[in-house]
Amino acid sequence: MAKKHIAIFYCKRIQDHTCIACAKCFKAAPLKNGKFSQYDEEIEIVAMTDCGDCPGLLMPRVPMIRTLGGHVDAVHLGTCVTQAKEHGECPLDLEEMKVKLEKKLGIPVIIGTHDYV
Ligand code: SF4
Ligand code: SF4
């Protein structure tokens, strides 16, 4: 069965505070936890980078994903990003960012990753 190649954007401010070394997403992907449950295929995380930092500088990071060309099937905004939005003052409009990224990249963008606390 074909693999799903996933790229993840994490919150630059809280990445190593909520999940040390991004262990939660690396654990969740093969277990199909949380937003990874939508895939039938084996998941491979092929890229992981920060959101560009506050105040919402994600779009300049898009070329990083583009350089990977067809090797990325979908992009996820990490659960850290949704937590930064819910519990902090993250300036990103995640729904708007999803639309913009999908238009730029031509692949699905999913808001969230694992559902571990
Ligand atoms: S939610 Fe995922 S991408 Fe974000 S810090 Fe945790 S492991 Fe890393
Ligand atoms: S823009 Fe949002 S996701 Fe990025 S560092 Fe700031 S709080 Fe975190």
Q: What is the pLDDT of residue 54?
A: 93
Say if 1 falls within a structural domain: no
Say if 23 falls within a structural domain: yes
Say if 77 falls within a structural domain: yes
Say if 40 falls within a structural domain: yes
Domain count within the chain: 1
Side-chain half-sphere of 78: how many Cα atoms within 13 Å?
30
Domain that holds residue 78: 11-49+57-111
**72-100 average pLDDT score:** 95
Say if 3 falls within a structural domain: no
The rounded Å distance from CA 2 to ligand 1 centre is 24
Say if 4 falls within a structural domain: no
> In testing the pocket of ligand 1, which one of 113, 115, 116, 117 has its CB within 8 Å of the most ligand atoms?
113
Q: Which helix (H) or strand (E) holds 67?
A: none
Say if 102 falls within a structural domain: yes
pTM (global) more than 0.85: yes
Q: Is the pLDDT confidence value at 116 over 70? A: yes
User: What's the mean per-residue pLDDT of the chain?
Assistant: 92
24-72 residue pLDDT tens: 999 999 999 999 999 999 999 999 989 989 988 888 788 877 777 678 9
**What length is written for the chain?**
117
